[in-house]
Amino acid sequence: MLDLMPSLGSWRPAVSGQLCAVATIVGTGGSVPRPTGTSMMVSEDGEILGSLSGGCVEGAVVEAALEAMRDGGPRLESFGYSAEDAFAVGLTCGGELEVHIQPLGEGSPELAVFAETQPPAALIRRLGGGGGVVVVDDPVRFRAMESTQLAHLVGDHPATLFAAAAQVEPLLQGGRAGLVRLAPPEGCNDGWVTTERLALPKQEEPQPEPITLFVESRLPAARMLIFGANDFGAALLPAGQLLGYNVTLCDARPAFATQSRFAGADQVVTDWPHRYLDAEAAAGRIDARTVVCILTHDPKFDIPLLETALRLNLAYVGAMGSRRSHRQRIDALMEAGTPPEALERLHSPIGLNLGAVTPAEVAVSITAEIIAERGGIASTAPGRKKAHHNVTGFPSLKDSTGPIHPAPQHLTQEDPWT
């Protein structure tokens, strides 16, 4: 819905006060054209704003939206592909969509929020049960247990609010969209939607229905901080931007940082790495999605920078270097008082074990590991609590042994990187 909000203020049906309905993708499976959180508005005259699938299911969604406006009740519709019925409404790509449809009458709290021309960073909507919406301006710092609006939306029972916080906050802080289902507290009916008494046998008491929330969060691009103005930094910079990161290159040496090959970075900073990272964290410009790649492999930069980085809640911290330098780095960090659990989060040597040698190949290795890490693709490896693998089965260099760079077959001397 956040995508449609800038256009809703000039959409004729909304401006003229027509009854409308919002259809939102709240669940997906398989290959689908649009992601969770995509919305489409339908007016009582059948006018449409937005698209859910590029044409596959729009007609059926419009019909369901018109029905919802006629009877005044929300509904959940499912669309998929049927090989048995070639003429059935569905997705030719073979995926599945769950679409929630909510009528929006004049004066509804959702419509008042949706009409804002400047969309907030995130929305929390209650699906069914009278609806309702919470506007979140700062998803990273939002605390569900402290939100009176969320308590009003789900009921002020502490157990329910705690369950909401555990599920809502990760979605908000990750900039993602998703459903949150909350079971009602045992023995609690006050303030909850219940089934119709007449539809139940006389001996049964009406049971509270679960509360369903839909969270939609849009954050600015996550940051990738590259420390080290060298060939590897130059190769990783465009690779990070290709993944959608806002990329900062930082180096303490002006003669290196100001080279033209780094001009494509979103920011180029000349400062001591640990001092810059500490200042960014203090200013609130670092969050749990931030990626830190340390490519300097120089202890005078690496050790204070790693001490700072491993104290922060970051998505990924990786450091380049040989296995020998890694062991020395770990010893220095332990001597400085870095706790073992923090060291477990360090990806060193950095990257997946792809046999990468050139700067471009190393950039692929690093970005592949970042993708695997943020996607939660992990498995257990002997001798470690957590080992990271991408879908092709390549382990992280931190969880493997042997040479980092495969030596040519005609060479027999020891790899200096081991």
pLDDT in tens, 352-368: 998 899 999 999 999 99
Q: Is residue 417 part of a domain?
A: no
Q: What is the pLDDT of residue 399?
A: 65
What pLDDT, on a 0 to 100 scale, did the predictor assign at position 388?
Answer: 42
pLDDT in tens, 17-73: 889 999 999 988 877 778 888 999 999 999 999 988 766 688 889 999 999 999 888
Looking only at the bridges linking them, the beta strands covering 20-29 and 96-104 are antiparallel
Q: In this predicted structure, which of 212-221, 246-255, 315-324, 368-377 has the lowest mean pLDDT?
A: 368-377
Query: Span 106-110, mean pLDDT?
Result: 73
Predicted pLDDT at 9:
81
Overall average pLDDT of the 117-124 stretch: 85
Mean pLDDT across 370-393: 53
Quick check: is 295 in a domain? yes
Q: How many structural domains compose the chain? A: 3
Establish if 201 belongs to a structural domain: no
Which of 84, 107, 130 finishes a domain? 107
- Which domain does 6 fall in, by range? 1-107
- Can you give the CATH number for the domain in which 362 is found? 3.40.50.720
- 212 and 315 share a domain? no
Q: Does 191 have pLDDT greater than 50?
A: no
Does residue 199 lie in a domain region?
A: no
Residue 3 has pLDDT above 80, yes or no: yes
Q: From residue 269, how far is each of 224, 285, 319, 358 by CA, in Å?
A: 13, 14, 19, 25
**Residue 266 CB: number of other CB atoms within 10 A?**
15
Residue 175 included in any domain: yes
Give me the pLDDT at residue 409, please. Answer: 43
**What is d(CA 235, CA 370) in angstroms, rounded to the nearest whole number?**
15
Same domain membership, residue 47 and residue 127 = no
Q: Give me the pLDDT at residue 17, please.
A: 83
Mean pLDDT value across residues 226-249: 96
- Indicate whether 368 and 235 sit together in one domain: yes
* Residues 126 and 101 occupy one common structural domain: no
Q: Are residues 374 and 231 in the same domain?
A: yes
Given a cut of 80, whether residue 413 has pLDDT beyond it is no
pLDDT score of 366: 96
Domain boundary among 107, 138, 165: 107
Q: Are 372 and 228 in the same domain?
A: yes
- Same domain? For 95 and 126 the reply is no
245-268 mean pLDDT? 95
Higher per-residue pLDDT: 109 or 413: 109
Q: Which residue has the higher pLDDT, 238 or 287?
A: 238
- Beta-carbon contacts of residue 150 (< 8 Å; ≥ 6 apart): 124, 134, 144, 161, 164, 168
**Nearest to 139, CA basis, from 169, 102, 182:** 169
Same domain (yes/no): 325, 292: yes
Confidence of residue 85 (pLDDT cuts 50, 70, 90): very low
Structural domain includes residue 115: no
Same-domain check for residues 243 and 331: yes
Q: What is the mean pLDDT of the chain?
A: 82
Instruction: Please tell me whether the peptide bond between 201 and the residue prior to it is cis, using omega within 30 degrees of 0.
Output: no
Q: What is the pLDDT of residue 405?
A: 54
Residues 101 and 231 in one domain: no
Mean pLDDT of 172-190: 75
Are residue 95 and residue 132 in the same domain, yes or no?
no
Do β-strands 346-347 and 378-379 pair in parallel, antiparallel, or remain unpaired?
Answer: unpaired
Residues 261 and 372 in one domain: yes
pLDDT at residue 189, rounded to an integer: 45
Q: What is the mean pLDDT of residues 390-405?
A: 59
Asked if the model's pLDDT at residue 16 lies above 60, the reply is: yes
Residue 112 lies inside a defined structural domain of this protein: no
Q: Tell me the C-alpha distance between 181 and 26, whole Å.
A: 12
- Domain stops at, among 80, 107, 134: 107
In a domain, 202, yes or no: no
In the chain, what percentage of residues exceed pLDDT 90? 46
Higher pLDDT, 192 or 104: 104
Closest CA to 129 of 57, 214, 215: 214
Residue 406 clears pLDDT 60, i.e. is over it: no
